[in-house]
Amino acid sequence: MSAPIASFERVSKAFGSKVVYRELSLDVFEGETLVVMGGSGVGKSVLLKMLIRLLEVDGGTIRFRGSDVGKMGERELRVVRRKIAMLFQGGALFDSLNVGENVAYALQEHHEDDMSAAAIQERVSWALALVDLPGIEAMMPSALSGGMKKRVGLARAIALRPEVVLYDEPTTGLDPINTTRVNHMINGLKRALHVTSIVVTHDMASAFAVADRMAMVKDGRIVKVGVPEEFRSAADASVADFIAGNAPEHEDVETLLRG
């Protein structure tokens, strides 16, 4: 197997007394869709933010194409952020900007010296068409449904023509039809743009719909990595229970409320 496009090497991270990661190690290979899953609060989104240094690691090393992200100066980091785009939960659109301006924002930020206004508008139209929302540049975010906001956020991410797309809980809050639409788009953009994708989710149906490989986070570490078939037949009880959605049995509700 070729060298990873990104790697987490014995990474540690804590917020005060809350330890999120304890020497976590994980490789991401070019062209794959890697799904990182785990329960709420285990730090899946933190993993993505550390890769583009929106959050700093406390220990260990994160590399992108062999270079230590933590040692990069602002200029190098800016280049990396052009190559790694992130779709935030909810789309994270600017309410005061229309759709076209939202999608153009990253292009203006990263290509202000080498893209004309006409080229930016052409790229915006291209990106919106890829997420099946052509011609909505003039609409405001307040007029969009939740599913449309996610897709506009995705258009903004891919407008930069990145090498890697990070998806932070891309189907959270969506109805089944929009969830399926987003899953199809993740797969379609991988084929059309040949991007590497890292998807963090606790939505198992979506995970199996898009994953080439899967990794499960528990207790601050990666406890299992493998192809989807290995997760479907996992012998580890904690992995199997998570996949199946099995919760531990409790006493009756009145007992829980008294506790």
Tell me the per-residue pLDDT of 214-231, one tens digit each, with 9 for 90 and over.
Answer: 999 988 999 999 999 999
Using the 8-state DSSP alphabet, how is residue 247 labeled? P
Other beta carbons within 10 angstroms of residue 141's beta carbon come to: 18
Instruction: For each of the domains in the chain, give its residue range(s) and CATH number, in order of start.
Output: 6-247 (3.40.50.300)
Residue 90's pLDDT is what? 67
- Spatial distance between the Cα atoms of 47 and 57, rounded to a whole number of angstroms: 10
**185 with 221: CB under 8 angstroms?**
no
pTM (2 decimals)? 0.88
Place of tokens 């007992």: 255
pLDDT at 233: 84
Under a CB-based contact definition with an 8 Å cutoff, are residues 149 and 121 in contact? Answer: no
| Alpha-carbon torsion (52, 89, 154, 5), positive or negative | positive
Question: How do residues 125-180 score in pLDDT, each as one tens digit?
Answer: 999 999 999 999 999 999 998 889 989 999 999 999 999 999 999 998 888 998 99
Instruction: Locate 6 and state its tokens.
Output: 């990104």
Query: What 3 state SS string does the chain have?
Result: CCCCCEEEEEEEEEECCEEEEEEEEEEECCCCEEEEECCCCCCHHHHHHHHCCCCCCCEEEEEECCEEHHHCCHHHHHHHHHHEEEECCCCCCCCCCCHHHHHHHHHHHHCCCCCCHHHHHHHHHHHHHHCCCCCCCCCCHHHCCHHHHHHHHHHHHHCCCCCEEEEECCCCCCCHHHHHHHHHHHHHHHHHHCCEEEEEECCHHHHHHHCCEEEEEECCEEEEEECHHHHHCCCCHHHHHHHHCCCCCCCCHHHHHHC
- Cα 92 from chain centroid (whole Å): 13
pLDDT value of residue 49: 95
| Residue located via tokens 């909505």 | 136
Between CA 90 and CA 87 the distance in angstroms is: 8
Give the pLDDT of residue 208: 95
> What stretches in the chain show pLDDT beneath 70?
1, 90-91, 111-113, 246-259
Whole-angstrom distance, CA of residue 95 vs CA of residue 218: 36
Q: Which residue has the tokens 């891919």?
A: 158
pLDDT given for residue 243 in this prediction: 83
The whole-number pLDDT of residue 156 equals 92
The pLDDT value recorded for residue 1 is 56
